[in-house]
């Protein structure tokens, strides 16, 4: 499994030949298969392919994005199969949904705890790693924390640059 980001777009390359995967990827895929099996789910190549796509995608894709990416490997896969696969991956804790309110749910397979930055212009999502602050850690000691969800929002650098350019152009025309 390889994701080619050279064109700025995630392009999924085949996972059919599992023995060609890198050892760390194979272990991760095998661990995902074990977790699914232990939870009572069937472990299928399509389901593992959906997980592999999510695991290597930095774009926090929607189910439609995942369907498009995985379809190159499995042309006969249905959107319903992708939805069910994503649902099972969420159920067993391999994937986290990112709910953006009015927009389609995006998905994240990154195992580490992190926050997200969402651009309100282009809806791009970027992982943000923040360190615990002593004050927050002290305040949370009395709780049993099982997870977190932190979202920052604003304008990414590209959209902010476009806004600045458009503002300057608008000011010059007045």
Residue 91 sits in the same domain as residue 151: no
d(CA 50, CA 48): 5
pLDDT for the residue 167: 63
Of 61, 87, 110, the domain-final residue = 110
Percent of the chain as helix, strand, coil, to the nearest 5: 45, 15, 40
CA terminus-to-terminus distance, the chain: 53
Residue 29 sits in the same domain as residue 72: yes
The first and second tokens of residue 105, run together, are 């749910």
Residue 163 sits in the same domain as residue 119: yes
Range of the domain at 81: 1-110
Check if the beta carbon of residue 152 is closer than 8 Å to that of residue 117.
Answer: yes
* Contacts of 88 by beta carbon, 8 Å cutoff, 6+ apart: 36, 39, 41, 47
pLDDT in tens, the chain (174 residues): 333 333 333 434 344 433 333 444 445 899 999 999 999 999 999 999 999 999 988 889 999 999 999 999 999 999 999 999 999 999 999 999 988 777 889 999 887 778 889 899 998 888 888 876 677 777 888 888 887 778 889 999 999 988 888 765 544 554
pLDDT for the residue 19: 36
Residue 98 sits in the same domain as residue 120: no
Split into its structural domains, the chain has a count of: 2
Residue 126 sits in the same domain as residue 172: yes
Q: Which helix (DSSP H) or strand (DSSP E) does residue 126 occupy?
A: strand 125-128
- Output Rg (C-alpha) for the chain, integer angstroms: 19
Domain CATH code at residue 44: 1.10.10.10
Residue 100 sits in the same domain as residue 121: no
pLDDT for the residue 107: 94
pTM for this model (two decimals): 0.68
Q: Which one-letter DSSP state was computed for residue 8?
A: S
Of 88, 110, 132, the domain-final residue = 110
Residue 123 sits in the same domain as residue 164: yes
Of 110, 137, 156, the domain-final residue = 110
pLDDT for the residue 16: 42
């Amino acid at each position: 499994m390889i994701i080619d980001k050279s064109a700025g777009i995630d392009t999924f390359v085949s996972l059919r030949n599992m023995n060609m995967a890198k050892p760390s990827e194979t272990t991760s895929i095998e661990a995902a298969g074990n977790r699914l099996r232990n939870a009572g789910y069937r472990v299928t190549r399509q389901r593992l392919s959906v997980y592999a796509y999510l695991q290597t995608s930095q774009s926090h894709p929607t189910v439609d994005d995942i369907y498009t990416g995985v379809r190159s490997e499995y042309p006969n896969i249905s959107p319903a199969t992708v939805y069910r696969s994503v649902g099972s991956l969420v159920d067993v804790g391999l994937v986290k949904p990112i709910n953006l309110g009015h927009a389609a749910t995006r998905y994240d397979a990154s195992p580490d705890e992190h926050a997200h930055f969402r651009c309100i212009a282009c809806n791009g999502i970027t992982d943000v790693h923040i360190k615990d602050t002593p004050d927050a850690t002290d305040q949370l000691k009395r709780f049993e924390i099982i997870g977190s969800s932190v979202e920052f929002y604003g304008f990414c650098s590209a959209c902010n640059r476009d806004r600045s350019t458009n503002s300057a152009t608008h000011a010059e025309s007045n």
